[in-house]
Amino acid sequence: MAHDEGANIASALQSVLAQSGPHVGEPRIVVVASGCTDDTVPRAKAVAAAHPRVAVLEQERREGKASAINLFLEEAGPVAVCILAGGDTRLEPGALEALVAPFDNPSVGMTGGRPVPVDATTRLLGRVVRFQWDLHDAVARVEPKLGELVAFRRSAGLLPPDTATDEAWLESAVVTSGLRRVYVPEARVAMKGPGTLREYVAQRRRIHAGHLRLAARTGHRVSTMDWKRAAAEAFALRAAGRAALGTIAAAALLESWARLLGAWDARILRREQAVWTRLPSTKNLRG
């Protein structure tokens, strides 16, 4: 899925094309370029010209990630397993093999990899972003919370076009169908967190509002919404020397403020956020 990912799309595609393993084979790769105003499409088509299994679909206007995913699912047809990755991410070697291997077990309905931020630790916000995803990893190892790179059985169906939390909605559908979620930390995917406080809060606010709406609609609550579990894992990271107390305090303050704003959006304003504001600082994995 890509919106104005000219800086990342070629490397994202190359990281997928380089994947190998007995469970990977040579899967078809579909780029959904959604309302792009930069050079995402020509860069993606240049890769597709050299690799026949890459296809590029264009949405004339941006309609939200769920809409783009649905277009991909319709194009994919009756395949057994689908994989979602963002145009602003880069898969590490072996990620897809690790991600899809658990589907040998018919009880598995969805798997998710481990997002690894590239944000510099020389700034407090960079340390907060890295701590946030270390915490996500710790919580997901106890109860899966899947995002950034996911695979799922095609039986999950299409997404509601108004959802802003696509992976969480897929989680809900898988749980409802009686299948299992599996977190696969070996399936690592590089990504970039927000580089400004405004963008960080905006992202966390949107995500929490989406999780609240999902819980109200389906009853499914993602595991990272449990603040007691998150706090316990945060202090476990601190005890292991993997997070400084100041970083934990800053992350907790920002998350509390973002969740308050997200609750306001979901419960008071009832604002839809399927098409969210682009965050420029997240859009270049090289800087």
pTM score: 0.94
Mean pLDDT across 3-31: 95
pLDDT (tens digit per residue) in 159-200: 998 888 999 999 999 999 999 999 999 999 999 999 999 999
Higher pLDDT, 5 or 270: 5
Residues facing residue 81 across a β-bridge: 153
Q: Which residue has the tokens 């994947």?
A: 19
Q: How many residues does the chain have?
A: 287
pLDDT at 287 over 70: no
Residues facing residue 149 across a β-bridge: 85
What separation in angstroms does the CA of 121 have from each of 97, 114, 277? 30, 19, 25
Residue type, 143: E
What separation in angstroms does the CA of 147 have from each of 61, 121, 160, 282? 25, 23, 17, 16
Dihedral sign for Cα 14, 20, 173, 221, please: negative
Domains in the chain: boundaries = 9-281
Give the CATH number of domain 9-281.
3.90.550.10
The contacts of residue 20 (CB under 8 Å, 6+ apart) are: 97
Widest CA span in the chain: 51
pLDDT (tens digit per residue) in 244-253: 999 999 999 9
pLDDT (tens digit per residue) in 252-263: 999 999 999 999
Q: What is the pLDDT of residue 276?
A: 72
What separation in angstroms does the CA of 14 have from each of 9, 80, 212? 9, 23, 36
Percent of the chain whose predicted confidence (pLDDT) is above 90: 87
Q: What is the pLDDT of residue 98?
A: 98
Element (H, E) at 111: strand 108-117
The contacts of residue 170 (CB under 8 Å, 6+ apart) are: 110, 146, 150, 152, 156, 159
